[in-house]
């Protein structure tokens, strides 16, 4: 089994997941593992301690090894290929000795407004607050002492990959969240014209040339190194794992989400829902204008993508579910988490299409698309609202999709064609509910596959399997590999938008947009 497998490990916002699949049947999950972790808000910045990255890597892998033993009765000593994925963007800066200079700054931070605005003007393209280049420039603008010692900058996936392989590389999808990309496919790379502009801007601060700071860009299927002896000891401190295992390029969670849903062709898109929520739509042509609501990134194969990224996803919804779970336990009728979500989601189906006049803002963190630098979760109703359990939960579900829908309306205005949206993430495990509401929010068919709950770890494993297929000469095109090998016989549930849901969500969104002033006031006063 070992030589014909692919391992994917993804660092999500609340869980680190590992997924082992069959190289000959990539849609077959052989074993899974995982561990929980949480970001911290330290000195007004969202971060994860770097030692928790390494500890979490080991814990997720150990959990997977135990699952292999339980399911298959074998000790895992090697796999055919490995892929690493993690939350995109953010800032990991190192000195010449490889020492981390400041705590990891995640995608969730919104302190980079001045740098993002300056670079957006300089580059004549939108540079979001969370992009690595915005973090680097903001550190310069803030005259942070560590800037003089910077020798390299990378993402979380790039950091883990380098620790395991010794290679400072990055998949093009993840790299496109560090700095703008030019070209497509295997020729996709950092935009040399814009690199020159940045170097000229930074010359006064005596910063090394940008290309020397950023990882090398690789497209899907490329050779991204192999597991070193040190990497094997890091991943598996028991010493059973053998070095020499090949790696695919490390990718961001947006890229593995596209792979996990098979949405890498033009006129397809995907929604990934977790702590954040974002949509990726593969473009047929360049956009006519620059929009602050849209990031221009790429697929793991280097094709252009418009991304609508929202800092806040399902965390507030999960908090509400946790409250009801506690109520059930306190009433001496405890329910497990999946059952609580199932009950609440199905109750939401009986609610009014516009959530009965209720509004829910899931903003635990700032929301750049709405111009909010911090978050204040709010639940709002008027005396005329229909305050029922069904409407309250429906409002929470609509709230998860609120900012996303505002960004997607911008794409509609650009005339971007979308034949189908694929969705994945834990909230889609309850069959048909979140999927139906998303279809109504986007007014587009939404497809959910059997692997929706596995998410990016499975997508990372599929990219690792594609790397093996390229090395063996059996495939060269990621889109064709996904269509012909991975999803050829995949079970997919497709929900078309219900006109009543579309109209109801549109009414909800009008009130949601107007109520953003209430959210802004809460940030200011509370």
Which of 312-341 are b and which e, b meaning 16 or more Cβ less than 10 Å from the residue's Cβ? bbbbbbbebbeebbeeeeeeeeebeeeebb
Residue 162 C-alpha from the chain's centroid: 20
- Give how far Cα 213 sits from Cα of 111, 117, 157, Å: 22, 22, 16
Rounded to whole angstroms, the Cα distance separating 221 from 483 reads 16
In this structure, what are the phi and psi dihedrals at residue 76, rounded to the nearest 5 degrees?
-80, 120
CB within 8 Å of 133: residues ≥ 6 apart: 119, 127, 178, 179, 198
- The 3-class SS string of 292-325 reads CCCEEEECCCCCEEEEEEECCCCHHHHHHHHHHH
User: Tokens at residue 326, please?
Assistant: 């506690």
pTM of the entire predicted model? 0.87
End-to-end CA distance of the chain: 56
- The conformation of residue 182, written as its DSSP 8-state character, comes to E
Contact yes or no for 129/109 (Cβ under 8 A): yes
In this structure, what are the phi and psi dihedrals at residue 279, rounded to the nearest 5 degrees?
-115, 140
Rounded to whole angstroms, the Cα distance separating 516 from 508 reads 12
- Give how far Cα 386 sits from Cα of 259, 356, 429, Å: 41, 5, 28
| pLDDT computed for residue 430 by the predictor | 82
- Which CATH number describes the domain made up of 261-454+496-526? 3.30.420.40
Q: Is 3 exposed, middle or buried (0-12, 13-18, 19+ CB in 10 A)?
A: exposed
Q: Which alpha helices (H) appear in 221-368, and where do they start and end?
A: 229-235, 253-261, 315-330, 337-348
Tell me the domain boundaries of the chain.
89-154+180-213, 261-454+496-526
**H/E stretch holding 374:** strand 372-374
Rounded to whole angstroms, the Cα distance separating 403 from 364 reads 13
In degrees to the nearest 10, what's the CA dihedral of 275, 154, 26, 487? 60
- The conformation of residue 350, written as its DSSP 8-state character, comes to T
Block means of pLDDT (10 residues each) for the chain, length 526 residues?
A: 87 94 93 95 93 98 98 96 96 97 94 96 95 97 96 98 98 97 92 97 90 98 98 98 98 92 90 89 92 93 94 94 97 96 97 98 93 94 97 98 96 89 84 93 88 76 97 93 90 91 98 97 96
Rounded to whole angstroms, the Cα distance separating 301 from 274 reads 24
105, β-bridge pairs = 91
Rounded to whole angstroms, the Cα distance separating 165 from 247 reads 8
CA proximity to 258, closest of 503, 455, 110 = 455
Rounded to whole angstroms, the Cα distance separating 198 from 192 reads 10
């Amino acid at each position: 089994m070992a030589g014909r497998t692919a391992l994917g490990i993804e660092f999500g916002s609340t869980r680190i997941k590992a997924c082992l699949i069959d190289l000959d049947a990539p849609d077959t999950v052989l074993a899974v593992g995982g561990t929980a972790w949480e970001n911290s808000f330290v000195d007004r910045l969202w971060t994860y301690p770097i030692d928790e990255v390494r500890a979490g890597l080991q814990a997720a892998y150990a959990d997977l090894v135990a699952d292999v033993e339980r399911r298959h009765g074998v000790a895992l000593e090697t796999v055919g290929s490995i892929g690493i994925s993690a939350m995109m963007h953010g800032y990991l800066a190192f000195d010449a000795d490889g020492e981390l200079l400041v705590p990891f700054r995640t995608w969730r931070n919104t302190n980079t407004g001045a740098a993002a605005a300056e670079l957006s003007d300089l580059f004549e393209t939108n540079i979001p607050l969370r992009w690595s280049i915005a973090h680097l420039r903001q550190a310069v603008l803030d005259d942070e002492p560590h800037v003089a010692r910077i020798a390299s900058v990378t993402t979380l996936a790039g950091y883990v990959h380098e620790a395991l392989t010794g290679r400072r590389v990055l998949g093009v999808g993840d790299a496109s969240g560090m700095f703008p990309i030019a070209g497509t496919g295997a020729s996709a790379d950092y935009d040399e014209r814009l690199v020159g502009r940045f170097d000229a801007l930074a010359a006064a601060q005596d910063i090394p040339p940008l290309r020397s700071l950023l990882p090398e860009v690789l497209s899907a299927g490329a050779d991204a190194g192999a597991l070193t002896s040190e990497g094997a000891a890091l991943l598996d401190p028991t010493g059973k794992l053998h070095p020499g295992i090949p790696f695919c390029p490390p990718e961001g969670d947006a890229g593995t989400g596209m792979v996990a849903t098979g949405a890498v062709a033009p006129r397809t898109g995907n929604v990934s829902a977790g702590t954040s929520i974002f949509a990726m739509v593969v473009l047929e042509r360049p956009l006519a204008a620059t929009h602050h609501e849209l990031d221009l990134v790429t697929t793991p194969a280097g094709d252009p993508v418009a991304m609508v990224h929202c800092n806040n996803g399902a965390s507030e919804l999960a908090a509400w579910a946790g409250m009801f779970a506690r109520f059930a336990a306190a009433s001496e009728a405890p329910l497990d988490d999946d059952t609580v979500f199932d009950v609440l989601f199905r109750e939401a189906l009986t609610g009014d299409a516009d959530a009965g006049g209720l509004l829910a803002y899931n903003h635990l963190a700032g929301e750049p698309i709405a111009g909010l630098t911090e978050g204040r979760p709010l639940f709002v109703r008027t005396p005329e609202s229909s305050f029922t359990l069904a409407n309250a939960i429906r409002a929470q579900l609509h709230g998860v999709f609120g900012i996303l829908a505002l960004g997607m309306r911008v794409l509609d205005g650009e005339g971007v064609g979308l034949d189908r949206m694929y969705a994945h993430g834990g909230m889609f495990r309850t069959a048909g509910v979140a999927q139906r509401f998303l279809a109504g929010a986007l007014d587009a068919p939404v497809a959910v596959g059997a692997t929706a709950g596995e998410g990016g770890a499975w997508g990372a494993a599929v990219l690792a399997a594609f790397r093996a297929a390229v090395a063996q000469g059996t495939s060269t095109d990621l889109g064709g590999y996904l269509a012909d090998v991975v999803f050829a016989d995949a079970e997919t549930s497709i929900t078309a938008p219900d006109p009543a849901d579309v109209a109801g969500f549109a009414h909800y969104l009008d009130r949601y947009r107007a109520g953003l002033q209430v959210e802004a006031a809460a940030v200011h006063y509370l």
